[in-house]
């Protein structure tokens, strides 16, 4: 693992479910070859190359297990299953992340649309997109790719 030495901030705040507090952790930056060795072909395509899995095919779109969804690349806690809902879209959807610090958003203008891409704050893995058509209390729908997540069951 190599840290991103070009960033002014090599340490960033990330909330840990295990410790129940925000901890200062190093950003993670790896070469493409390092990511390819540590991820499945599908996870590499989605998380590192901004791909999208086909709707209704991901292992978590219809999953009802209790646990924490982490980044498949770096293990950062991203979403709690208690905030997961069936959006009918074919992708796992959540109405909020574990903590605002753990994800970041980026304008995505691909395919002639303007969307908000959701990235892991620690390693910048592509997770999916966030939309403003979700349920209360936030009104948000974090539409994620299963290939970018791993579920740690409680």
Residue pLDDT, tens place only, 56-84: 999 999 999 999 999 999 999 999 999 99
76: CB partners within 8 A, 6+ apart: 14, 70, 102, 120, 121, 122, 123
The pLDDT, as a whole number, for residue 8 is: 54
Residue 4 lies in a domain: no
User: CATH code at 53?
Assistant: 2.170.150.20
The pLDDT, as a whole number, for residue 93 is: 98
40: CB partners within 8 A, 6+ apart: 147
Q: Please list the active-site residues.
A: 143
> Is 22:39 a contact under the CB 8 Å cutoff?
no
Residue 41 lies in a domain: yes
- How many domains does the chain fold into? 1
Residue 50 lies in a domain: yes
The domain in which residue 138 lies consists of 11-153
The pLDDT, as a whole number, for residue 2 is: 39
Q: Which residues of the chain have pLDDT under 70?
A: 1-9
């Amino acid at each position: 693992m190599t840290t991103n030495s070009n960033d002014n901030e090599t340490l960033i705040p990330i909330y840990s479910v295990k410790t129940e507090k925000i901890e200062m952790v190093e950003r993670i930056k790896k070469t493409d070859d390092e990511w390819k060795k540590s991820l499945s072909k599908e996870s590499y395509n989605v998380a590192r190359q901004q791909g999208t899995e086909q709707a209704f095919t991901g292992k978590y779109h219809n999953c009802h297990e209790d646990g924490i969804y982490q980044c498949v690349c770096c293990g950062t806690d991203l979403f709690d299953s208690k905030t997961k809902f069936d959006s009918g879209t074919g992708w796992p959807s959540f109405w909020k992340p574990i903590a605002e610090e753990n994800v970041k958003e980026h304008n995505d203008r691909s395919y002639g649309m303007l969307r908000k891409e959701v990235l892991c704050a620690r390693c910048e893995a592509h997770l999916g997109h966030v939309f403003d058509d979700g349920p209360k209390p936030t009104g948000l729908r974090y539409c994620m790719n299963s290939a970018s997540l791993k579920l740690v069951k409680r």
